[in-house]
Amino acid sequence: MSRIEGVLNNLKGQGRKALIPYITAGDPSPALTVDLMHTLVEAGADIIELGVPFSDPMADGPVIQLACERALVHGTSLKQVIDMVREFRTRDDATPVVLMGYLNPVEAMGYEAFADAAADAGIDGVLTVDLPPEEAVDVAPLFAARSLDPIFLLAPTTTDERIRAISEHSSGYVYYVSIKGVTGSASINVEEVAAKVQHIHELTALPVGVGFGIRDAETAAAVGQVSDGVIVGSVLVDTIARNQTDPEQLKRALTDLLQPMRNALDNLTS
C-alpha cells in the first residue's frame, strides 16, 4: 500500500477528510521550502502538494505565476525540488508528498532518471498538469514499477467515458478541478461541485480531492462535506507572497490560515 493510500484509508476509517495544501518549491527562497513543509504538517496537512516551478505555467493564475517567477529567480530546478523532499523525509516519513507541475522539466531530466530520483527521495505521487493519460503511456510503467502514484485531473468538462478511463490510469486519488478556469480565479459553486463529485464517486472507487477556489474554513468545510479531501493552493501562495521577507511571520500566517480549515474539516464529522 502506498503512503498516500495508507493516509487516505486511515482518514476514511476515522470519518475524516484530507487537508492537502499546495506551495511552490523555491518560493520565496529554496532554503525555506523544507521548513514551510514542516509548518504545513504541524498546522494539520495530511498530504503536501509541492509545486515544481515552470517558466510557462499555462493552467495557473497570476498568484502561482508569480510564485514560479520568484522560485526561478533562485534557479530552483526539478533536481533541487527532489532534494528538498529528500531533506523533508529526514524528519517526516509519514506525510505523503505529491509533486505537481508541468511536463517539460520532467522531459528535460528524462522520464527514467526522474522516476528513479523521485522514488529514491521519498516522493509519493506525481501530478503533471499538461500530461493527460493518453500521453502518459511511456511514463506510466516507470511510475508503477517504483510505486509512484500518478495523480490525474478531472474537470467539469470531463465526460463519463473519460472519468472512467482517467480513473483507471490513476492511483492514490483523483484531483477534481472545481471550476472552469485557472488556479486562484473564480469562487466555486458548492452545489455544482457536490453533484459532480457524487457522480465521480459513482464511476470510481478512488478518493476524490477537490481543488481550485478553496480559500477559507467555510469553503473548505463546504467542499469537505462532499469530497474526500480539499486542496488549497493560491490562498497559501498569496500568503507567502505577502510575508516573503519575514520567515517567522510567514510560518505563523500559514498556520493561521490552515488550522481553521483543519478544525472546520474535523468538525464536519463530530
Partner 1 sequence: MSTKLTKELLESLPDARGHFGDYGGRFVSETLMDSLVTLEREYHRLKDDPEFQEKFDKDLAHYVGRPSPLYFAERLTRETGGAQIWLKREDLNHTGAHKVNNTIGQALLASFLGKKRVIAETGAGQHGVATATVCARLGLECHVFMGSEDVQRQALNVYRMKLLGAEVHAVESGTRTLKDAMNEAMRDWVTNVDDTFYIIGTVAGPHPYPLLVRDFQAVIGREARAQSLTQAGKLPDALVACVGGGSNAIGLFYPFLTDESVAMYGVEAGGFGLETGQHAAPLCAGRPGVLHGNRTYLMEDENGQISATHSVSAGLDYPGVGPEHSWLKDVGRANYVSVTDEEALDGFRQLTRVEGIMPALESSHAVAYGTKLAAGMDKDQVVIINISGRGDKDIHTIANLDGIEI
Q: Catalytic residue positions?
A: 49, 60
Q: Is 118 in the site for partner 1 (CB under 8 A)?
A: no
Q: 200: which 3 cell numbers?
A: 465521480
Among positions 181, 189, 201, 268, the unique one binding partner 1 when judged by CB under 8 A: 181
DSSP state of 216: S
CA distances from 121 to 29, 82, 85, 183 (A): 20, 6, 6, 28
Task: State the minimum distance, in angstroms, from the CB of residue 52 to partner 1.
Answer: 9
Q: Is 197 in the site for partner 1 (CB under 8 A)?
A: no
CA dist 20 and 111 (Å) reads 26
- Binding letters toward partner 1, positions 138-177, x by CB under 8 A: --------------xxxxxxxx--x---x----------x
Quickly tell me which residue has 498538469 as its cell. 129
Task: State the minimum distance, in angstroms, from the CB of residue 145 to partner 1.
Answer: 22
Q: Scan residues 78-97 and list those touching partner 1 (CB under 8 A).
A: 78-79
Q: Is 236 in the site for partner 1 (CB under 8 A)?
A: no
Q: Is 135 in the site for partner 1 (CB under 8 A)?
A: yes
Nearer to partner 1 by Cβ, of 93 and 138: the residue is 138
Nearer to partner 1 by Cβ, of 197 and 254: the residue is 197
Q: Which range in 30-38, 61-69, 191-199, 224-232 contacts partner 1 by CB under 8 A?
A: 61-69
Q: Is 130 in the site for partner 1 (CB under 8 A)?
A: yes
Nearer to partner 1 by Cβ, of 40 and 143: the residue is 143
CB atoms under 10 Å from CB of 247, counted, come to 16
Query: In terms of C-beta distances under 8 Å and separation of at least 24 residues, what long-range contacts does 70-77 make, across chains too?
Result: 70/24, 70/26, 70/27, 70/28, 70/241, 70/244, 71/24, 71/25, 71/26, 71/27, 71/30, 72/26, 74/26, 74/29, 74/30, 76/25, 76/26, 76/30, 77/105
CA dist 38 and 52 (Å) reads 18
Q: For the packed helices 33-42 and 247-267, what is the interaxial angle rounded to 10 degrees?
A: 30
Task: State the minimum distance, in angstroms, from the CB of residue 183 to partner 1.
Answer: 10
Interface residues with partner 1 (CB under 8 A) are 54-62, 65, 72, 75, 77-79, 102-109, 129-132, 134-135, 152-159, 162, 166, 177, 180-182, 185-186
